């Protein structure tokens, strides 16, 4: 059985060659939107949902379920979770077929770390390479690279952030060859993220912005201003969540103001729902999840506008 780990391990350790393959389906979608915008048409609002927060990791029916939610265009999958995981090329092919079957996009992959691994681990480069490979095969244009708590570098100490910067600087060209952006989600504040991505200095290394995380990790006042600080050039994708509540309900983030800030920078990327599992503690049925997603999508549509070409 083919395994992505073996394919990418050889490439990463050799630090040479190009990730081969036909142009992914996801990039075709982006080009279509670009062409539409050139005629002055509004780009479709790109809204997706995490398979993990749909409680459907490793379930090929995730696209069928997503298709039943009006306004939902894509599903963010997990790389290393599920049985089989996306390290299995046969599973990758099955997911791609099912996404095509239901007309759903796979905008991004998350869950890139193997068991016990992190961005500071010796095998971090291998984990990232195999995730890039899976993304290319699936037509996903982004991988979410998460690092929190003790795995976050101290941006005041070069000895702390230097090795992580070097790792991402080294891996980024492989992502660029595959048409894949490396989206960084972490517990740094916006100013630290700005410094971080500028030090890496690769055009396909950007911030996967999560306002709720900003508040959770102690930067509530910086969450919305951070959108303008980082700007369209450095924000590649956005998580939308409100803890256990619907987006329209009270929470640590003023979502109407946040969406207006995204409108102001002409953000045209994906909004990915990452609703906390606690929302479904009392009603874990698929129907309840779908109803919550429908309400959240309507709220996003009320406040977001995509830029005109």
Q: Is the dihedral of CA 278, 279, 284, 290 positive or negative?
A: negative
Q: Residue 301: which H helix or E strand, with range?
A: helix 286-303
Sequential pLDDT tens for the chain (309 residues): 556 555 555 555 554 333 333 333 344 334 444 444 445 566 789 999 999 999 999 999 999 999 999 999 999 999 999 998 999 999 999 999 999 999 999 999 999 999 999 999 999 999 999 999 999 999 999 999 999 999 999 999 999 999 999 999 999 999 999 999 999 999 999 999 999 999 999 999 999 999 999 999 999 999 999 999 999 999 999 999 998 899 999 999 999 999 999 999 999 999 999 976 544 444 457 888 899 999 999 999 999 987 765
C-alpha span between 251 and 255 (Å, rounded): 9
End-to-end CA, the chain? 46
Angstrom distances, CA of residue 89 to CA of 74, 78, 93, 136, 221: 21, 14, 6, 12, 44
C-alpha span between 23 and 28 (Å, rounded): 7
44-303 CATH choice from 3.30.1300.30, 1.10.10.10, 3.20.20.150, 3.30.43.10: 3.20.20.150
pTM for the predicted model, two decimal places:
0.87
Give the side-chain half-sphere CA count within 13 A for 192: 18
Domain boundaries, the chain: 44-303
């Amino acid at each position: 059985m083919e395994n992505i780990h073996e394919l990418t391990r050889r490439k990463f350790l050799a630090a040479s060659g190009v990730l081969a393959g036909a142009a992914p389906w996801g990039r075709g979608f982006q080009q279509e939107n670009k062409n539409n915008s050139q005629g002055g048409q509004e780009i479709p609002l790109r809204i997706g949902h995490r398979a993990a927060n749909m409680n459907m990791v490793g379930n090929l029916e995730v696209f069928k379920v997503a298709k039943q939610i009006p306004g939902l265009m894509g599903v963010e999958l997990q790389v290393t979770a599920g049985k089989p995981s996306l390290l299995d090329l046969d599973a990758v092919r099955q997911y791609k077929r099912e996404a095509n079957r239901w007309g759903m996009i796979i905008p991004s992959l998350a869950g890139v770390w193997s068991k016990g691994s992190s961005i500071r681990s010796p095998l971090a480069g291998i984990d990232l390479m195999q995730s890039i490979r899976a993304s290319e095969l699936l037509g996903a244009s982004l991988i979410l690279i998460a690092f929190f708590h003790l795995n976050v570098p101290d941006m005041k100490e070069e000895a702390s952030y230097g090795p992580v910067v070097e790792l991402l600087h080294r891996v980024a060209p492989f992502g660029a060859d595959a048409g894949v952006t490396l989206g960084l989600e972490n517990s740094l504040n916006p100013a630290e993220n700005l410094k971080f991505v500028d030090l890496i200095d690769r055009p396909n290394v950007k911030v996967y912005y999560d306002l709720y995380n900003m508040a959770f990790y102690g930067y509530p006042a910086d969450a919305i201003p951070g959108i303008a600080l980082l700007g369209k050039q450095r924000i590649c994708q956005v998580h939308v969540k409100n803890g256990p509540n619907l987006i329209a309900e009270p929470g640590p983030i003023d979502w109407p103001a946040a969406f207006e800030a995204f409108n102001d920078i002409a953000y045209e990327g994906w909004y990915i729902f990452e609703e906390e599992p606690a929302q479904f503690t009392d009603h874990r049925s698929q129907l309840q999840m779908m109803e919550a997603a429908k309400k959240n999508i309507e709220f996003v549509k009320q406040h977001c506008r995509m830029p005109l070409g």
